[in-house]
Amino acid sequence: MAPPQTNPANEDLADVVRLIERMRNGERRAISHAVTELERLSAAAPALLQAMQPHLGHALVVGFTGSPGAGKSTLVNAYTRYVRSQSKTVGIIAVDPSSPVSGGAILGDRIRMTATLDDDGVFMRSLASRGHLGGLSPAAVRVIDALDAAGKDIVLIETVGTGQSEIDVAEVADVRVLVTAPGLGDDIQAMKAGLIEIADILVVNKADREGADRSVRDLQMMQGLAAEHGDWVAPILKTVGAKGEGIAELAEAADRHLAWLRESGELQARRRAHLRLRVETILKERVVREADQVLGLDREVERGFASRTDPYRVADRLFEGVVRREAEERRT
């Protein structure tokens, strides 16, 4: 990662606008800089987010979820090569689960995307999902915006398949691809029935392996049991990511789904729901942060613990403290 060239806390609006121009020219260092600022929610981030607004909404966001072992990384790599061959630019966000205790990445030094690292039309960032165990953090969502504002035609998100991350990806992706592979076991059928409901495209990867047709039949059966959403029926595709087989069909299905989203009004509905989710998350983070600043969360929890106060009363006291300080600030 290139070191930041400027201190964005001191940048005025003109500097932010210049940064966005450089991002949109495809300058890797500018994108990397902006992504880092947004990931960390630095002092420069609010101005950057505001200035990025007019440039958002261009990218097609495709989310890849599914069990470990389904070959998602290889599939994302093959998908990237395919859309690059059509001269589209790509941003990739790989979300790795991190250990809740040690904080270290569980998957370790997974080698990724070697085929695309020297291509300026591809920008990739790996994020740890601290505390989210594979889920999408608010930081990841801001990074999607940065890649969108940078003018990438397609943003691919790859997460490790825990139940929660699939739900999170469903909130932000325009196209939700659920990836499985032959022989991953039927024990997770119960889980999948719920996940199938939120998938737009179902993929059996490693389809050159024995059992691929059975996996397709299993998916068809589970799809029959699941509730439909709208009049889109998720196609079931076979791919071999490692050989690039079935990728053109996958990209074509994604384009068809985007067209359906636009025509049905579902695209607007999804993006509106996503804005609502983000606003709620920001509100929640803010009230906890202010409560901590005003009264100290640890101190109040300690008091409540010692006096056996129920959590609702402890929360009441903290909320009161936040309101009082905010009201005082307005008076002065």
What part of residues 219-258 is at the interface with its own copies (CB under 8 A)?
226-227, 229
Pick from 191, 248, 251, 258 the residue near its own copies by CB under 8 A: 191
Beta-carbon neighbour count of residue 313 at 10 Å? 11
Q: State the CB neighbour count (10 A cutoff) for residue 16.
A: 20
Q: Which is nearer to its own copies, 81 or 278 (CB)?
A: 278
- 3-state SS, residue 201: strand
**Long-range own/partner contacts, residues 49-58 (CB < 8 A, 24 or more apart):** 49/142, 49/145, 51/13, 51/16, 51/17, 51/20, 52/20, 52/145, 52/146, 52/149, 55/20, 55/24, 55/148, 55/149, 55/151, 56/145, 56/148, 56/149, 57/148, 57/271, 58/148, 58/151, 58/153
Per CB under 8 A, the list member of 63, 134, 182, 241 interacting with its own copies is 134
* Smallest gap from residue 112 Cβ to its own copies (A): 15
Q: Is 86 in the site for its own copies (CB under 8 A)?
A: no
* Residue among 120 and 310 whose Cβ is closer to its own copies: 310
Q: Binding segment for its own copies among 32-40, 185-193, 200-208, 240-248 (CB under 8 A)?
A: 185-193
Give phi and psi for 71, each to the nearest 5.
Answer: 85, 35
Site for its own copies in 273-302 (CB under 8 A): 275-276, 278-280, 282-284, 286-288, 291, 297-298, 300-302
Q: Which is nearer to its own copies, 197 or 249 (CB)?
A: 197
Using the rule CB under 8 A, give the single segment among 2-10, 29-37, 49-57, 212-220 that binds its own copies. Answer: 49-57
Q: Is 177 in the site for its own copies (CB under 8 A)?
A: no
- Asked if residue 135 lies in contact with residue 162, where contact means CB atoms within 8 angstroms, the answer is yes
Number of H helices, E strands in the chain: 12, 7
Interacting residue with its own copies among 151, 271, 294, 296 (CB under 8 A): 271
Q: Which of 162, 205, 223, 239 binds its own copies (CB under 8 A)?
A: 162
